[in-house]
Protein backbone atom coordinates (compact mmCIF):
# COMPACT_ATOMS: atom_id res chain seq x y z
CA UNK A 1 0.00 0.00 0.00
CA UNK A 2 1.55 3.32 -1.00
CA UNK A 3 -1.41 5.61 -1.78
CA UNK A 4 -2.69 8.01 0.89
CA UNK A 5 -5.21 10.82 0.54
CA UNK A 6 -5.42 13.74 2.98
CA UNK A 7 -8.70 15.63 3.24
CA UNK A 8 -7.82 19.16 4.31
CA UNK A 9 -4.33 20.49 3.65
CA UNK A 10 -4.28 23.52 5.90
CA UNK A 11 -1.79 24.29 8.65
CA UNK A 12 -1.82 20.75 10.04
CA UNK A 13 -2.96 18.70 7.07
CA UNK A 14 -0.25 19.92 4.71
CA UNK A 15 2.47 19.14 7.25
CA UNK A 16 1.06 15.63 7.71
CA UNK A 17 0.89 15.18 3.94
CA UNK A 18 4.48 16.35 3.47
CA UNK A 19 5.81 14.07 6.22
CA UNK A 20 4.02 11.06 4.73
CA UNK A 21 5.29 11.91 1.24
CA UNK A 22 8.83 12.33 2.55
CA UNK A 23 8.55 8.80 3.96
CA UNK A 24 7.93 7.40 0.48
CA UNK A 25 4.13 7.33 0.31
CA UNK A 26 2.29 8.75 -2.68
CA UNK A 27 0.07 11.41 -1.12
CA UNK A 28 -2.87 13.26 -2.64
CA UNK A 29 -4.11 16.30 -0.76
CA UNK A 30 -7.74 17.35 -1.17
CA UNK A 31 -8.78 20.95 -0.56
CA UNK A 32 -11.28 23.55 -1.80
CA UNK A 33 -8.80 26.43 -1.90
CA UNK A 34 -7.38 26.84 -5.43
CA UNK A 35 -4.43 28.88 -4.10
CA UNK A 36 -3.41 26.04 -1.80
CA UNK A 37 -3.83 23.43 -4.54
CA UNK A 38 -1.76 25.44 -7.02
CA UNK A 39 1.02 26.07 -4.50
CA UNK A 40 1.29 22.41 -3.47
CA UNK A 41 1.38 21.25 -7.09
CA UNK A 42 4.22 23.70 -7.66
CA UNK A 43 6.12 22.29 -4.70
CA UNK A 44 5.57 25.40 -2.59
CA UNK A 45 4.18 25.89 0.90
CA UNK A 46 1.26 28.34 1.10
CA UNK A 47 1.45 28.48 4.91
CA UNK A 48 3.91 29.59 7.58
CA UNK A 49 5.35 26.61 9.46
CA UNK A 50 9.06 26.12 10.26
CA UNK A 51 10.69 23.49 8.04
CA UNK A 52 7.69 22.89 5.78
CA UNK A 53 8.92 24.77 2.70
CA UNK A 54 12.24 22.95 2.86
CA UNK A 55 10.57 19.58 3.36
CA UNK A 56 8.32 20.08 0.34
CA UNK A 57 11.25 20.65 -2.00
CA UNK A 58 11.78 17.57 -4.14
CA UNK A 59 8.46 15.93 -3.21
CA UNK A 60 6.67 16.61 -6.51
CA UNK A 61 6.75 12.91 -7.43
CA UNK A 62 5.12 11.96 -4.12
CA UNK A 63 2.86 14.89 -3.18
CA UNK A 64 0.05 16.47 -5.21
CA UNK A 65 -3.18 18.33 -4.53
CA UNK A 66 -6.66 18.38 -6.04
CA UNK A 67 -10.26 19.32 -5.30
CA UNK A 68 -11.47 16.00 -6.76
CA UNK A 69 -12.54 13.54 -4.06
CA UNK A 70 -13.22 10.83 -6.62
CA UNK A 71 -9.68 10.94 -7.97
CA UNK A 72 -8.17 11.02 -4.48
CA UNK A 73 -10.19 8.10 -3.09
CA UNK A 74 -9.75 5.92 -6.20
CA UNK A 75 -5.99 6.42 -6.08
CA UNK A 76 -5.44 5.76 -2.40
CA UNK A 77 -6.03 2.97 0.11
CA UNK A 78 -6.15 5.12 3.21
CA UNK A 79 -7.72 8.53 3.79
CA UNK A 80 -6.85 10.93 6.59
CA UNK A 81 -9.42 13.59 7.53
CA UNK A 82 -7.65 16.69 8.84
CA UNK A 83 -10.52 19.17 8.76
CA UNK A 84 -11.62 21.88 11.21
CA UNK A 85 -14.00 21.13 14.08
CA UNK A 86 -14.97 24.68 15.19
CA UNK A 87 -16.12 25.36 18.72
CA UNK A 88 -19.83 25.74 19.35
CA UNK A 89 -21.52 28.13 21.74
CA UNK A 90 -22.07 25.45 24.38
CA UNK A 91 -18.38 24.51 24.40
CA UNK A 92 -18.55 21.42 22.17
CA UNK A 93 -17.21 20.93 18.66
CA UNK A 94 -19.09 21.28 15.40
CA UNK A 95 -18.77 18.26 13.12
CA UNK A 96 -20.18 19.96 10.04
CA UNK A 97 -16.89 19.83 8.10
CA UNK A 98 -16.20 16.28 9.21
CA UNK A 99 -19.71 15.29 8.10
CA UNK A 100 -19.25 16.90 4.69
CA UNK A 101 -15.93 15.12 4.19
CA UNK A 102 -17.40 11.82 5.37
CA UNK A 103 -20.23 12.03 2.85
CA UNK A 104 -17.78 12.72 0.01
CA UNK A 105 -15.54 9.85 1.07
CA UNK A 106 -18.46 7.46 1.45
CA UNK A 107 -19.95 8.36 -1.93
CA UNK A 108 -16.67 7.43 -3.59
CA UNK A 109 -16.25 4.25 -1.56
CA UNK A 110 -19.61 2.95 -2.76
CA UNK A 111 -18.30 1.38 -5.95
CA UNK A 112 -14.66 1.03 -5.00
CA UNK A 113 -13.41 -2.55 -4.61
CA UNK A 114 -11.13 -3.60 -1.79
CA UNK A 115 -10.66 -2.49 1.79
CA UNK A 116 -10.21 1.25 2.42
CA UNK A 117 -9.14 2.75 5.74
CA UNK A 118 -10.54 6.10 6.92
CA UNK A 119 -8.65 7.91 9.68
CA UNK A 120 -9.99 10.93 11.57
CA UNK A 121 -7.32 13.12 13.18
CA UNK A 122 -9.49 16.15 14.00
CA UNK A 123 -10.44 16.68 17.64
CA UNK A 124 -14.04 15.64 18.33
CA UNK A 125 -16.10 14.95 21.42
CA UNK A 126 -16.25 11.34 22.62
CA UNK A 127 -18.89 9.45 20.65
CA UNK A 128 -18.75 11.59 17.52
CA UNK A 129 -16.58 9.20 15.49
CA UNK A 130 -18.98 6.30 15.96
CA UNK A 131 -22.28 8.18 16.09
CA UNK A 132 -21.59 10.66 13.28
CA UNK A 133 -18.73 9.54 11.04
CA UNK A 134 -19.18 5.79 11.12
CA UNK A 135 -22.93 6.22 10.65
CA UNK A 136 -22.47 8.45 7.59
CA UNK A 137 -19.79 6.26 6.02
CA UNK A 138 -22.02 3.18 6.29
CA UNK A 139 -25.25 4.98 5.34
CA UNK A 140 -23.91 6.67 2.22
CA UNK A 141 -21.57 3.93 0.99
CA UNK A 142 -23.86 1.01 1.80
CA UNK A 143 -20.81 -0.80 3.18
CA UNK A 144 -20.03 -2.25 6.60
CA UNK A 145 -17.40 -0.76 8.90
CA UNK A 146 -14.81 -3.31 9.95
CA UNK A 147 -15.61 -5.51 6.96
CA UNK A 148 -15.62 -3.42 3.78
CA UNK A 149 -13.77 -0.42 5.17
CA UNK A 150 -11.95 0.46 8.37
CA UNK A 151 -12.24 3.47 10.66
CA UNK A 152 -9.70 4.83 13.12
CA UNK A 153 -9.60 7.86 15.37
CA UNK A 154 -5.96 8.89 15.66
CA UNK A 155 -5.46 12.48 16.81
CA UNK A 156 -2.05 14.05 16.48
CA UNK A 157 -0.38 15.56 19.54
CA UNK A 158 1.24 18.38 17.61
CA UNK A 159 1.58 22.13 18.06
CA UNK A 160 1.86 24.91 15.51
CA UNK A 161 5.44 26.03 15.16
CA UNK A 162 6.76 22.50 15.67
CA UNK A 163 4.30 20.37 13.67
CA UNK A 164 6.88 18.48 11.61
CA UNK A 165 9.05 17.64 14.60
CA UNK A 166 6.03 16.64 16.69
CA UNK A 167 4.55 14.46 13.95
CA UNK A 168 7.77 12.60 13.23
CA UNK A 169 8.87 12.37 16.87
CA UNK A 170 5.72 11.99 18.97
CA UNK A 171 5.69 11.01 22.63
CA UNK A 172 2.93 8.53 21.85
CA UNK A 173 0.81 7.34 18.93
CA UNK A 174 -2.85 6.97 19.87
CA UNK A 175 -5.12 4.77 17.77
CA UNK A 176 -8.80 4.14 18.38
CA UNK A 177 -9.77 1.39 15.96
CA UNK A 178 -12.96 -0.11 14.60
CA UNK A 179 -11.20 -3.45 14.11
CA UNK A 180 -7.68 -4.94 14.53
CA UNK A 181 -6.98 -4.91 10.79
CA UNK A 182 -7.47 -1.16 10.65
CA UNK A 183 -5.28 -0.61 13.68
CA UNK A 184 -2.54 -2.77 12.17
CA UNK A 185 -2.57 -0.81 8.89
CA UNK A 186 -2.34 2.54 10.63
CA UNK A 187 0.36 1.36 13.05
CA UNK A 188 2.56 0.33 10.11
CA UNK A 189 2.23 3.78 8.56
CA UNK A 190 3.25 5.52 11.77
CA UNK A 191 6.23 3.22 12.17
CA UNK A 192 7.38 4.29 8.70
CA UNK A 193 7.01 8.00 9.47
CA UNK A 194 8.02 8.28 13.13
CA UNK A 195 11.74 8.59 13.66
CA UNK A 196 11.78 7.88 17.41
CA UNK A 197 9.91 4.53 17.57
CA UNK A 198 7.21 5.86 19.95
CA UNK A 199 4.86 3.70 22.02
CA UNK A 200 1.60 2.93 20.20
CA UNK A 201 -1.52 2.85 22.36
CA UNK A 202 -4.42 1.10 20.69
CA UNK A 203 -7.97 0.65 21.94
CA UNK A 204 -11.56 1.57 21.29
CA UNK A 205 -12.43 4.72 19.40
CA UNK A 206 -14.40 6.08 22.36
CA UNK A 207 -11.44 5.74 24.75
CA UNK A 208 -9.10 7.37 22.23
CA UNK A 209 -11.48 10.34 21.94
CA UNK A 210 -11.52 10.75 25.74
CA UNK A 211 -7.72 10.45 25.92
CA UNK A 212 -7.15 13.19 23.34
CA UNK A 213 -9.38 15.81 24.88
CA UNK A 214 -8.35 14.86 28.43
CA UNK A 215 -4.67 15.30 27.60
CA UNK A 216 -5.08 18.87 26.42
CA UNK A 217 -7.31 19.69 29.38
CA UNK A 218 -4.70 18.30 31.78
CA UNK A 219 -1.98 20.43 30.19
CA UNK A 220 -4.09 23.58 30.66
CA UNK A 221 -4.53 22.67 34.32
CA UNK A 222 -0.75 22.33 34.67
CA UNK A 223 -0.21 25.73 33.03
CA UNK A 224 -2.73 27.39 35.34
CA UNK A 225 -1.07 25.76 38.34
CA UNK A 226 2.30 27.10 37.17
CA UNK A 227 0.81 30.58 36.81
CA UNK A 228 -0.56 30.29 40.34
CA UNK A 229 2.94 29.42 41.54
CA UNK A 230 4.25 32.48 39.71
CA UNK A 231 1.81 34.73 41.56
CA UNK A 232 2.79 33.17 44.87
CA UNK A 233 6.48 33.77 44.17
CA UNK A 234 5.81 37.43 43.38
CA UNK A 235 4.39 37.83 46.88
CA UNK A 236 7.16 36.22 48.96
CA UNK A 237 10.64 37.59 49.75
CA UNK A 238 13.09 36.47 47.06
CA UNK A 239 10.42 34.43 45.31
CA UNK A 240 11.56 32.69 42.11
CA UNK A 241 9.10 30.54 40.18
CA UNK A 242 11.87 28.98 38.07
CA UNK A 243 13.54 27.57 41.16
CA UNK A 244 10.23 26.22 42.46
CA UNK A 245 9.24 24.77 39.08
CA UNK A 246 12.66 23.19 38.63
CA UNK A 247 12.33 21.40 41.95
CA UNK A 248 8.85 20.15 41.10
CA UNK A 249 9.89 19.17 37.59
CA UNK A 250 12.52 16.71 38.76
CA UNK A 251 9.78 14.64 40.37
CA UNK A 252 8.82 11.98 37.80
CA UNK A 253 5.18 12.27 38.86
CA UNK A 254 5.09 15.89 37.68
CA UNK A 255 7.75 16.68 35.02
CA UNK A 256 9.05 20.06 33.90
CA UNK A 257 7.05 20.66 30.71
CA UNK A 258 4.38 23.39 30.83
CA UNK A 259 5.40 24.32 34.38
CA UNK A 260 7.17 27.61 33.62
CA UNK A 261 4.70 30.19 34.89
CA UNK A 262 4.05 33.17 32.64
CA UNK A 263 1.10 34.50 30.68
CA UNK A 264 -2.18 32.72 30.04
CA UNK A 265 -2.37 29.76 27.65
CA UNK A 266 -3.88 30.42 24.24
CA UNK A 267 -3.92 29.23 20.66
CA UNK A 268 -6.43 27.24 18.65
CA UNK A 269 -6.44 24.13 20.89
CA UNK A 270 -5.91 24.54 24.63
CA UNK A 271 -8.67 27.05 25.53
CA UNK A 272 -11.34 25.40 23.41
CA UNK A 273 -10.37 21.83 24.31
CA UNK A 274 -10.59 22.56 28.03
CA UNK A 275 -14.02 24.14 27.56
CA UNK A 276 -15.13 21.18 25.44
CA UNK A 277 -13.89 18.72 28.06
CA UNK A 278 -15.95 20.58 30.65
CA UNK A 279 -18.97 20.53 28.33
CA UNK A 280 -18.63 16.79 27.75
CA UNK A 281 -18.31 16.04 31.48
CA UNK A 282 -21.53 17.95 32.17
CA UNK A 283 -23.28 16.19 29.27
CA UNK A 284 -22.68 12.78 30.84
CA UNK A 285 -23.64 13.99 34.32
CA UNK A 286 -20.13 14.39 35.72
CA UNK A 287 -18.41 17.08 37.78
CA UNK A 288 -16.54 19.66 35.70
CA UNK A 289 -15.26 21.93 38.50
CA UNK A 290 -11.58 21.22 37.84
CA UNK A 291 -11.76 22.17 34.16
CA UNK A 292 -13.92 25.21 34.93
CA UNK A 293 -11.53 26.48 37.59
CA UNK A 294 -8.59 26.02 35.21
CA UNK A 295 -10.36 28.21 32.69
CA UNK A 296 -11.18 30.80 35.36
CA UNK A 297 -7.56 31.01 36.54
CA UNK A 298 -6.41 31.42 32.94
CA UNK A 299 -8.84 34.24 32.27
CA UNK A 300 -7.55 36.11 35.33
CA UNK A 301 -3.97 36.27 34.04
CA UNK A 302 -4.53 39.22 31.70
CA UNK A 303 -6.06 41.42 34.37
CA UNK A 304 -3.15 40.42 36.62
CA UNK A 305 -0.68 41.75 34.05
CA UNK A 306 -2.66 44.98 33.66
CA UNK A 307 -2.64 45.43 37.44
CA UNK A 308 1.15 44.97 37.50
CA UNK A 309 1.48 47.74 34.91
CA UNK A 310 -0.86 50.04 36.82
CA UNK A 311 1.23 49.57 39.97
CA UNK A 312 4.16 51.09 38.08
CA UNK A 313 2.44 53.73 35.96
CA UNK A 314 -0.63 54.62 37.95
CA UNK A 315 -3.16 55.99 35.47
CA UNK A 316 -2.20 54.49 32.10
CA UNK A 317 -4.56 56.65 30.05
CA UNK A 318 -2.59 58.29 27.22
CA UNK A 319 0.68 56.55 28.11
CA UNK A 320 2.54 54.51 25.51
CA UNK A 321 2.94 50.79 26.24
CA UNK A 322 5.05 48.64 23.93
CA UNK A 323 4.20 44.96 23.49
CA UNK A 324 6.91 42.70 22.05
CA UNK A 325 5.30 39.54 20.69
CA UNK A 326 1.71 38.98 19.53
CA UNK A 327 1.39 35.30 18.60
CA UNK A 328 0.19 32.74 21.12
CA UNK A 329 3.63 31.08 20.96
CA UNK A 330 6.89 31.48 19.05
CA UNK A 331 7.54 30.09 15.56
CA UNK A 332 4.00 30.59 14.31
CA UNK A 333 1.93 33.42 12.89
CA UNK A 334 -1.21 32.35 14.78
CA UNK A 335 -2.69 34.96 17.13
CA UNK A 336 -5.84 33.04 18.11
CA UNK A 337 -6.56 33.35 21.86
CA UNK A 338 -3.15 34.97 22.27
CA UNK A 339 -2.35 36.49 25.66
CA UNK A 340 -0.51 39.34 23.94
CA UNK A 341 -3.55 40.22 21.85
CA UNK A 342 -5.71 40.21 24.97
CA UNK A 343 -3.20 42.55 26.65
CA UNK A 344 -3.33 44.94 23.69
CA UNK A 345 -7.12 45.08 23.79
CA UNK A 346 -7.23 45.49 27.59
CA UNK A 347 -4.66 48.29 27.55
CA UNK A 348 -6.55 49.98 24.74
CA UNK A 349 -9.73 49.93 26.82
CA UNK A 350 -7.79 51.68 29.62
CA UNK A 351 -6.80 54.44 27.20
CA UNK A 352 -3.17 53.46 26.71
CA UNK A 353 -1.39 54.15 23.42
CA UNK A 354 -0.32 50.64 22.46
CA UNK A 355 2.54 49.82 20.08
CA UNK A 356 3.09 46.21 18.96
CA UNK A 357 5.80 44.22 17.22
CA UNK A 358 6.02 40.57 16.18
CA UNK A 359 8.24 38.72 13.69
CA UNK A 360 5.39 36.71 12.15
CA UNK A 361 1.98 37.73 13.47
CA UNK A 362 1.63 41.37 12.41
CA UNK A 363 -0.55 40.76 9.37
CA UNK A 364 -2.97 38.56 11.31
CA UNK A 365 -3.00 41.00 14.23
CA UNK A 366 -3.85 43.90 11.93
CA UNK A 367 -7.03 42.10 10.85
CA UNK A 368 -8.18 41.94 14.48
CA UNK A 369 -6.79 45.07 16.14
CA UNK A 370 -7.28 47.37 13.15
CA UNK A 371 -6.23 50.96 13.84
CA UNK A 372 -6.41 50.63 17.62
CA UNK A 373 -2.64 50.09 17.95
CA UNK A 374 0.60 51.25 16.34
CA UNK A 375 2.35 48.57 14.27
CA UNK A 376 6.13 48.77 14.54
CA UNK A 377 8.45 47.12 12.06
CA UNK A 378 11.18 46.57 14.65
CA UNK A 379 11.60 46.26 18.40
CA UNK A 380 13.44 49.58 18.49
CA UNK A 381 10.61 51.40 16.75
CA UNK A 382 8.09 49.74 19.05
CA UNK A 383 9.98 50.88 22.16
CA UNK A 384 10.50 54.44 20.93
CA UNK A 385 8.97 56.87 23.42
CA UNK A 386 7.28 54.12 25.43
CA UNK A 387 6.72 54.51 29.16
CA UNK A 388 6.37 50.77 29.72
CA UNK A 389 7.40 47.67 27.75
CA UNK A 390 6.14 44.10 27.91
CA UNK A 391 8.16 41.17 26.62
CA UNK A 392 5.05 39.07 26.00
CA UNK A 393 6.47 36.33 23.75
CA UNK A 394 10.14 35.27 23.80
CA UNK A 395 10.98 35.30 20.11
CA UNK A 396 14.73 35.04 19.40
CA UNK A 397 14.67 38.56 17.95
CA UNK A 398 13.63 39.88 21.36
CA UNK A 399 15.85 37.61 23.46
CA UNK A 400 18.91 39.30 21.97
CA UNK A 401 17.91 42.80 23.08
CA UNK A 402 20.27 44.53 25.53
CA UNK A 403 19.42 46.96 28.35
CA UNK A 404 20.61 49.83 26.14
CA UNK A 405 17.95 48.96 23.55
CA UNK A 406 15.35 49.85 26.16
CA UNK A 407 17.05 52.79 27.87
CA UNK A 408 18.03 54.37 24.58
CA UNK A 409 14.54 54.28 23.10
CA UNK A 410 12.02 54.49 25.94
CA UNK A 411 10.75 57.63 27.64
CA UNK A 412 10.74 55.84 31.00
CA UNK A 413 12.56 52.49 30.83
CA UNK A 414 10.24 50.08 32.64
CA UNK A 415 10.10 46.47 31.50
CA UNK A 416 7.83 43.55 32.38
CA UNK A 417 9.49 40.29 31.35
CA UNK A 418 6.67 37.74 31.18
CA UNK A 419 9.02 34.78 30.70
CA UNK A 420 12.14 35.86 32.65
CA UNK A 421 14.21 35.90 29.47
CA UNK A 422 16.61 38.63 30.51
CA UNK A 423 19.25 38.58 33.23
CA UNK A 424 17.64 40.27 36.20
CA UNK A 425 20.86 41.67 37.68
CA UNK A 426 22.12 43.04 34.36
CA UNK A 427 18.84 44.65 33.35
CA UNK A 428 17.96 45.78 36.88
CA UNK A 429 21.07 47.97 37.03
CA UNK A 430 20.02 50.05 34.03
CA UNK A 431 16.21 50.10 34.01
CA UNK A 432 13.24 49.24 36.14
CA UNK A 433 12.89 45.51 35.56
CA UNK A 434 9.94 43.39 36.67
CA UNK A 435 9.13 39.80 35.84
CA UNK A 436 6.18 37.47 36.24
CA UNK A 437 7.08 34.89 38.85
CA UNK A 438 9.86 36.90 40.54
CA UNK A 439 9.56 38.83 43.78
CA UNK A 440 10.26 42.56 43.27
CA UNK A 441 12.51 42.47 46.35
* 145 carries an active-site annotation: no
The rounded distance, in Å, linking the Cα atoms of 432 and 417 is: 11
One DSSP character per residue, 336-368 reads TT-HHHHHHHHHHHTT-EEEEE-SS-HHHHHHH
| Per-residue pLDDT tens digits for 351-402 | 999 999 999 999 999 999 999 999 999 999 999 999 999 999 999 999 999 9
Q: Write down the pLDDT at residue 58.
A: 85
Count of other CB atoms within 10 angstroms of residue 405: 16
Count of other CB atoms within 10 angstroms of residue 238: 9
Instruction: Considering the candidates 19, 233, 269, 418, report the single residue annotated as catalytic.
Output: 269
If pLDDT is split at 50, 70 and 90, which confidence band does 136 have?
very high
If pLDDT is split at 50, 70 and 90, which confidence band does 319 have?
very high
Listed residue (22, 86, 8, 90) closest to 51, CA to CA: 22
For residue 1, pLDDT over 70 is answered with no
Q: Write down the pLDDT at residue 421.
A: 97
The rounded distance, in Å, linking the Cα atoms of 391 and 400 is: 12
The rounded distance, in Å, linking the Cα atoms of 338 and 211 is: 25
Q: Write down the pLDDT at residue 10.
A: 94
Give the mean model confidence (pLDDT) for residues 15-25: 96
The rounded distance, in Å, linking the Cα atoms of 136 and 129 is: 10
**What is the three-class DSSP state of 300?**
helix
For residue 25, pLDDT over 60 is answered with yes
The rounded distance, in Å, linking the Cα atoms of 275 and 293 is: 11
Q: How far is CA 117 from CA 77, 176, 322, in A?
A: 6, 13, 51
For residue 2, pLDDT over 80 is answered with no
Beta strands 374-375 and 388-391: pairing type?
A: unpaired
Give the mean model confidence (pLDDT) for residues 186-207: 97
Tell me the average pLDDT of the chain: 96
For residue 441, pLDDT over 90 is answered with no
If pLDDT is split at 50, 70 and 90, which confidence band does 35 have?
very high
- As a whole-number percent, the residues of the chain with pLDDT over 70 amount to 100
Instruction: Name all domains of the chain by residue range, CATH numbers in brackets.
Output: 3-203 (3.40.50.720), 239-435 (3.40.50.720)
- As a whole-number percent, the residues of the chain with pLDDT over 90 amount to 97
The rounded distance, in Å, linking the Cα atoms of 262 and 421 is: 11
Amino acid sequence: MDGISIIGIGKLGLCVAACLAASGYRVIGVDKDPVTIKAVNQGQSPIYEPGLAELMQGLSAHLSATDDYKYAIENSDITFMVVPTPSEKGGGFSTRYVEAASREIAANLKNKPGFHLVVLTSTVLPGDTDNVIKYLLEEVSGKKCGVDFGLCYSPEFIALGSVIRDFTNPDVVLIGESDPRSGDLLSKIYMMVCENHPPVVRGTIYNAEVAKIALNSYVTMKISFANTLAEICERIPGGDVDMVSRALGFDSRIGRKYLSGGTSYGGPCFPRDNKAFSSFIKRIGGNARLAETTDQVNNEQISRVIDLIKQQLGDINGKKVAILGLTYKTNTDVIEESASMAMARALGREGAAVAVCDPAGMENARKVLGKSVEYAGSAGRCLEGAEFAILAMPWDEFKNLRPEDFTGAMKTPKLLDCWRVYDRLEFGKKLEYFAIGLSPT
